[in-house]
Structure 1
Amino acid sequence: MRAPRFLLPVSALLLFPAGCATDPDPAASAAGTVQVDATDDRCAPSRTELPAGVTTLSITNGGRQVTEVYVYDGDRIVTEKENIGPGTSYDLAVDLPAGSYVLACKPGMVGEGIRTELVVSGEGRQEDPAAAQAAQDYRDWVTAQADALVPAVEAFAAAVKSGDVERAKALYAPSREPWERIEPVAESFGDLDPRMDAREADLAAGEAFTGWHRLEKALWTGEDLAALAPVADQLVADATELRQRVPNAVITATSVGNGAKELLDEVATGKITGEEEAFSHTDLVDFSANVEGAAKAFEVLRPLVEQNAPELATQLDERFVAVDAALARHRDGDGFASYDTVEEVDRRELARVVDALSEPLSRLSAAAAA
C-alpha cells in the first residue's frame, strides 16, 4: 500500500510512471478499447456495457492530482493501476468474464473513489490453452509462496512476542519476501493489504497502524515490544487468511502480465527511494523479491510472448539480466547491504536498470493477450 505520489522515470529518481504515454491513443474508440476520462471529479468510461473477454482501458488523467484506477468484482480487485500522473495516460488490459463490475478512479489515491458500474455480457473468446496453463502455473506458484509466508511470519511474530529484538530483526525481512513476490495478488484482497503492509505515511486520519511496518518501527526505534503482541498475533492471522483466500484470487494471463508491471512500479515508488523500509533499511530485500515475482510472471507467460512478440521476449531477457547484475553488486552474504549505506550513484544505477525493464514489461500483458 503506497502513499500518493506522482512518478517520473525512476532513472531520474524523480516521481512519474515509466512506460506511460503522454497522449491518448487516437484509435481508442476501437473495438476492445474503452476510453476512461479520469479527472479530479470525474471517472467516465466511453461505454459501460462490455463484451466478455479482454478489454483495454485507455486511461487519461485530465485532473491535477495523481490518480489510480481499479476494477472491482464485489470486494475483490480484478486489476488496478496506481500512480497515473496529471496529463498522462496508461493502457490497462483486463480479462473480464460475464458479470457486474465496478470501475473506480481515485484522485489523490485515497478513499473509495468515483465509481461507475460496468456490465459484461457474452461468452468471450475461447481461452487459449497456453494462456490457461500460464494462469494455472502462476496460481500454483502464488500458492507455494503463500504457504511459505505463514511459517515465516509465525517465526517473526514469535521473536517479537518473546522480546528477542535481534532475532526479530533478523527474521523481519525474510518474513516479507513471499509477500513481496506475490504482492499484486495479495493486494487484490483490499482489506488485508492495509492491515499487513501499510506504512505510517500511508494512513488516513484515525486509521490504525498495524502489520509489518508497525513492528519494524518498534524494533528499530527501541520501543517496548510487550505492548505489541496483539499486532504480531494479527499479522499471523492475516497471513493465514491470505493463504486461505488465494484459491479465490482472480488470475488470468492478462492479470499476471499486469502484476509484473505493478511489481516494478513497487520497486520504483518505494524501494529505490528508500521509503518502504524507513527504519530497517532492508529495501533491497524487498526489491529483489519484487523482481523475482516479475520474473516469474514473465516465465509463465514466455510461451505466449515468444509466439506473439518474440522480440519482446528477447528484450525482457536482457533487461532482467541487467537488473539482477545491478542488484548482485549489493549482496552481503546471504542478504543485501543496508540501503542507507548505498551511495547515491549506485541508487541511480539501480533506478536506471529498473526504468529500462519497466518499459518493455508494460507490454507483457498485451503480448500475452494477443
Structure 2
Amino acid sequence: MLLLTAACGGGGTDAKSADGPIAVEASDDACKVAKSTANTGNVTFEVTNKGTKVTEFYLYAEGDRILGEVENIGPGLTRRLIVEVTEAGKLQTACKPGMKGDGIRADFTVSGEGRKSTDDNAKLAEATAGYKRFVNSQADSLLTKTTEFVDAVKAGKAEDAKALYPIARTYWERIEPVAESFGDLDPKIDAREDGLEPGQEFTGYHRLEKDLWTTGLQADSAKIADQLLTDVKEIADKAKGVELTPVQLANGAKELLDEVATGKVTGEEDRYSHADLYDFRANVDGSQAAISALRPVIAEKDAALATSLDEKFKALDALLESHRKGDGFKLYTDLTPDEVKALAAAVDALGEPISRVAEVVSK
C-alpha cells in the first residue's frame, strides 16, 4: 500500500523489476535483508522465517507509513511480498518476531526516476481510480455510522449502540488495509485487548464492545467514544488522499482474506458481541471490490485465474449468505463446528488464487 499491503504466495514467476527478489532471513532476534538498496518500480522480497515465533515483514516510508507488509509467517515458511515503489527515497525494512513491537529495523534506499505502472496502462489506471472511488464512499459511510454509534454510547442508549456497532465496523473492515497503513491510528481504533503493546491503553471499537456486552457502560465510555470518533475522522480524511497502485490493490485483497482467516473465522475478533460474521462479510466485500477493479487486467493476462476467482468468490458468498438472520447475521456462537469448518475451507480455497494476483498484475 502506498497504501494497501500484504503478501503474495511463494513461488511463481518473478514480477518484472530492475532487481530480482531480495532474500530476507527472519529469526527471533535478527532480520537479515540481503540488499539495502533497490531501484524504483516493483521491489520483491522473499521472506523466510528461520525462527521459532510467527513473524511479519514490513517496508516503511517516512512516518512509519506502511508501503508493504506480509503477516503470519510461521516458522519454516517463506512468503513473497511485492511492493510498487513509485518514488526514490529513504525507507526502512522491519521484521516483527511474535508480530509485536516496532520490529528489527534497517535502512533501505530506493533510487531512480519514479514512474507508476498506471502511467502507461489505461486499464490499470481505471482499476486504481475505480477502487479509490470505493474507498472514498466507504470512508464517508464509516464516519457517518461511527458518529451514530458514538452518539448512542454517549447518550447511554446501550441497545441502540449494540445495533449500530457491527454496522459502523462494516465500513472499517471493508477498507481496513488502507486504514492500517497510518501509524498508530489502527491500534487505537481496532486493537483487541489481548493484542495490546506494553503501556498501550485499551481504546476504540473493541473497548466499547466490551463495555456494551460485558461490563456495562463505564464512567470513561463517553471519553473513549469521543476519541474513537476523532481517530475515525482522521482515518476517513487520510484514506481519501491515498494514491494506490495496482499491486497495492492486489495485496490488499489478499490481506483482507488473511484477516478473515486469522480473526473472523476463529471468533477472536468480536469476542464480546460475537458479531464476527458482519466483519467477515465486510472483509470479503472489500477484497472483492479490489479484485473487481483489477478484473479486466487479470482476465487479459490470465483468463484462468479470473475464472477461478469468480468461482471461489461465488462459493464463499453463497456460504456466507446462508448464515443471514434478518437484516444481519447469526452470532458466531450460533455456528456449528462443521459450519465454521466449511467457512474456513472456502476462505482457504479463495486465498490461493488471490495470492497470485499481485504477481500477475505486476507483469
When normalised by structure 1's length, the TM-score is 0.91
1:303 aligns with 2:296: yes
Question: Structure 1 residues 248, 70: closer, same or farther in 2, change over 3 A?
Answer: farther
Post-superposition offset of 1:248? 3.7
Structure 1 residue 367 displacement after superposition: 1.2
Match of 1:363 among 356, 359, 362: 356
- Whichever residue aligns with residue 202 of structure 1, its letter is G
How far does residue 190 in structure 1 lie from its aligned partner after superposition?
2.2
Letter in 1 for 2:91: Y
Task: Determine what percentage of the aligned residue pairs are the same residue.
Answer: 49
Q: Distance in 2 between matches of 1:221 and 1:198?
A: 17
What is the correspondence of 1:162-201 to structure 2 with a 5 Å cutoff?
A: 162-201=155-194
Q: How far off its partner does 1:174 sit?
A: 0.1
User: How many angstroms does 1:119 deviate by?
Assistant: 1.1
Cα distance in 2, alignment partners of residues 263 and 224 from structure 1: 31
Question: Counterpart amino acid of 1:313?
Answer: A
- Aligned-partner Cα distance in 2 for 1:317–1:26: 23
Q: 1:285, 1:335 within 8 Å by CA — same for their partners in 2?
A: yes
Residue 61 (1) aligns with residue 54 (2)? no
Alpha-carbon distance between aligned partners in 2 of 1:324 and 1:41, rounded to the nearest angstrom = 41
Distance 1:191 1:18, change over 3 A: closer
**Correspondence 1:228 to 2:221:** yes
SS in 2 for 1:78: strand
1:18-49 Cα deviation digits (max 9, x unpaired): 9855xx78989994311111111221222111
Looking at structure 2, the residues matched to 27 and 313 of structure 1 have their Cα atoms a distance apart, in angstroms, of 19
Q: In the TM superposition, what is the alpha-carbon distance from 1:178 to its structure 2 partner?
A: 0.7
In the alignment, which residue of structure 1 is the partner of 2:344? 351
Amino acid at match of 1:109: M
Asked if residue 341 in structure 1 is aligned to residue 329 in structure 2, the reply is no
* TM-score, scaled relative to structure 2: 0.92
Match of 1:284 in 2: 277
Say which SS state the counterpart of residue 249 (structure 1) adopts. coil
Please list every run of 5 or more consecutive structure 1 residues that lacks an aligned counterpart in the other structure.
Answer: 1-16
CA distance in 2, matches of 1:234, 1:126: 37
Sort the Cα spacing of 1:67 and 1:254 in 2 relative to 1 into closer, same or farther, 3 A: same
Structural RMSD (CA): 2.1
Q: Structure 2: where are the runs of 5+ without partners? A: 1-5
Match of residue 93 from structure 1: 82
Hey, what does 1:240 align to over in structure 2? Answer: 233
Return the alpha-carbon distance in structure 1 between the equivalents of residues 329 and 227 of structure 2. Answer: 28
Q: Which amino acid aligns with 1:78?
A: L
Equivalent in the alignment of 1:153: 146
Provide closer, same or farther for how the CA distance between residues 104 and 126 of structure 1 changes in structure 2, counting only shifts above 3 A.
closer
Is it true that 1:138 corresponds to 2:134 in the alignment?
A: no
From the superposition, tell whether residues 129 and 308 of structure 1 become closer, same or farther in structure 2 (CA, over 3 Å).
same
Letter in 2 for 1:167: D
1:91 alignment partner, SS class:
strand
